[in-house]
Structure 1
Amino acid sequence: MSSETPVWFITASSSGFGKYIALEALSRGHKVIASARSTARISDLASAGADTVALDVTSPLPELQKIAKEANSKYGRITHLVNAAGYILEGAVEETSPKEDFDTFNTNVFGMLNVIKAFLPYLRATSGEKTISNFGSIASWGGGPGFALYSGTKWACSGISESLRPELEPFGIKTTVIEPGYFRTGFLNAGARVKSAVQMKEYDETVVGQTRAALDKTDNNQPGDVVKGCKVIVDILTHSGVAEGKDIPIRVALGSDSPPYIEKKLRDTQKLLDEWKPITMSTDHE
């Protein structure tokens, strides 16, 4: 890491991981440029010492590039880019509309991509190690009834992050994907959790209906403490605290429920491969 004070640019800083990463970085004396669709939503971060800027990740790339240029000019560098914008679209695939499908990909995936594109020239020009942190989820590892679109976006975020890692390492940029389990943020609150406009009665008594009920029950009862989680994230991204002496990993399986969920997916996948390998590997040219 550079000996200069770290400078963070964080999207979706009005709540959840974006907000508490900003507060944790500020508590360490770092510079933070916090963004949200409206600066009024992050006035508390401004009071805590952050610079604030209005940014909608779904804006056209030229607009994001302008914001990136202005952000970089504040301190002459960006060392940590955090893409925290994202939401869950709840609904069976048959229920969600093409517009709802596009909108969730536009925020969760295309927004992340375009913010990265806008900031990369400045990250590459900054000396020392830099980081890009994207938010996946345990849903990056497994789909499920009623949240296929969310899972699809998070698989995309994780896959893109894995690809960015070797692309950007030659420039001293470490890419990581944070894959949290259930943390007690406002993510599932009314207004943040988006439900498909169409809800078909045919799905009420199926596993989709069970998912709806489970999300209602989980809201505000998640096991993860977002403040503790963000302290670990900032430690990892700055090689400090619990992560002192460690490299920045390609993925951060965050929360007590994330590693077990991923481990089960690995076991199930290995079992499937073992069962079908004699058949599926018999397809080469003679």
Structure 2
Amino acid sequence: MSSQIPVWFITAASSGFGKTIALEALSRGHHVIASARSTSRISDLASAGATTLALDVTAPLSTIAEVAKSAASVHGYITHLVNAAGYILVGAVEETSPEEDLATFQTNVFGVLNVSKAFLPYLRASSGHRTITNFGSIGSWRGGAAYALYAGTKWAVSGISESMRAELAPFGIVVTVVEPGYFRTGFLNQGAQTSSAKRLECYDETVVGATRKALEKTDNNQPGDVKKGSKVIVDILTMQGQAEGREVPLRIPLGNDAKEVIGGKCRETLGLLEEWDSIVTTTDLE
């Protein structure tokens, strides 16, 4: 592995995993270029030694490309791109508007795509160990009432990440998707999550209403420690510490709850395949 100092570009570095990954990388003597919609929101990272740039991941690709050009010029190369921007839209499918649906995909999916497109020329031009890290979720594996749009975006990100991994392997760029369980990141705080403007009373006493209440109770009671999670992520991406001697995997299921959810979904899927095997395998041409 190259001895050059890693250079990180991180989106949504004002809070959550984006911020704590930035701080963890800085603590290791790495170069960090942190971004947020406003640099005033990441002034603390600037004080900690990061370079800060303004970036709205929903901006046109041409605008994001200019930010990528500026970022690459800071140290002359980029080794780690972290797409951490994303939010949850809470509401039943019947309640969310087309505009709310599109906005969720613009940030959670097209933000990932366009930032990756903008930075890939610089990642390909760099040498040594390079990674692109996208954020999925346990929602990448199990959808649920009241967060269909969020789950849909995270399933999309996981599928995109798996495809990008195959596309970029010939260039020595490793793509992975972090699929965390519940961590205390502020993700569910009022103002961080978004609820549909429309709310239908008929859903209040259903699983949709129950999920809304459960999310409120979960806020600030999540079991995951975001600092510990970020340390694990940086270890894995740099193949150091706990991950020394291992390759960066396609998926990073983060947290005990993530392990349980993903393991359960895998077991359910294997059971489904076995249960329906004699029927669903009768469709080939004779």
TM above 0.5, one fold? yes
| Cα shift readout 1:8-38 (whole Å, capped 9, x = no counterpart) | 0000000000000000000000000000000
Root-mean-square deviation over aligned CA pairs: 0.5
Paired position in structure 2 for 1:119: 119
Q: Deviations over 1:67-104 (max 9, x none)?
A: 10110011000000000000000000000000000000
Report the residue type matching 1:126 in the other structure: S
Identity of aligned residues (%): 70
Q: Distance in 2 between matches of 1:24 and 1:94?
A: 41
SS at match of 1:176: strand
Matched to 1:146, the amino acid is: A
- TM-score (norm: length of structure 1): 0.99
Instruction: Give unpaired runs (5+ residues) of structure 2.
Output: none
1:27 & 1:285 partners in 2: Cα distance?
60
Aligned pair 1:208/2:192, yes or no?
Answer: no
Once the two structures are superposed, what CA deviation does each residue of 1:24-64 show, in whole Å capped at 9, x if it has no partner? 00000000000000000000000000000000000000001
Between the aligned partners of 1:266 and 1:30, the Cα distance in structure 2 is 37
Distance 1:29 1:43 in 2: 19
Distance in 2 (CA, whole Å) between partners of 1:230 and 1:41 is 20
* Cα distance in 2 for residues equivalent to 1:265 and 1:27: 36
Alignment-derived partner of residue 274 in structure 1? 274
Equivalent residue, structure 2, for 1:188 = 188
Matches within 5 A, 1:71-82: 71-82=71-82
In the alignment, which residue of structure 1 is the partner of 2:155?
155
Q: Secondary structure of 1:8's match? A: strand
Q: Structure 2: which amino acid aligns with 1:51? A: T
Runs of 4+ in structure 1 off by over 3 angstroms are none
Question: Aligned-pair distance for 1:128?
Answer: 1.0
Q: Aligned residue pairs: how many?
A: 286
Question: How many angstroms apart in 2 are the aligned matches of 1:31 and 1:5?
Answer: 7
After superposition, what is the alpha-carbon deviation per residue over 1:125-171, rounded to whole angstroms, capped at 9, x for unaligned? 00112000000000000110000000000000000000011110111
| Cα displacement (A) at 1:285 | 1.0
Could you give the per-residue CA deviations for residues 186-241 of structure 1, whole angstroms, max 9, x where no partner exists?
10000001000001000000000000000000000000000000000000011110
Who is 2:164 aligned against? 164
Partner of residue 47, structure 2: 47
Query: Which amino acid is the alignment partner of residue 223 of structure 1?
Result: P
Q: Which SS does the other structure have where 1:131 is aligned?
A: strand
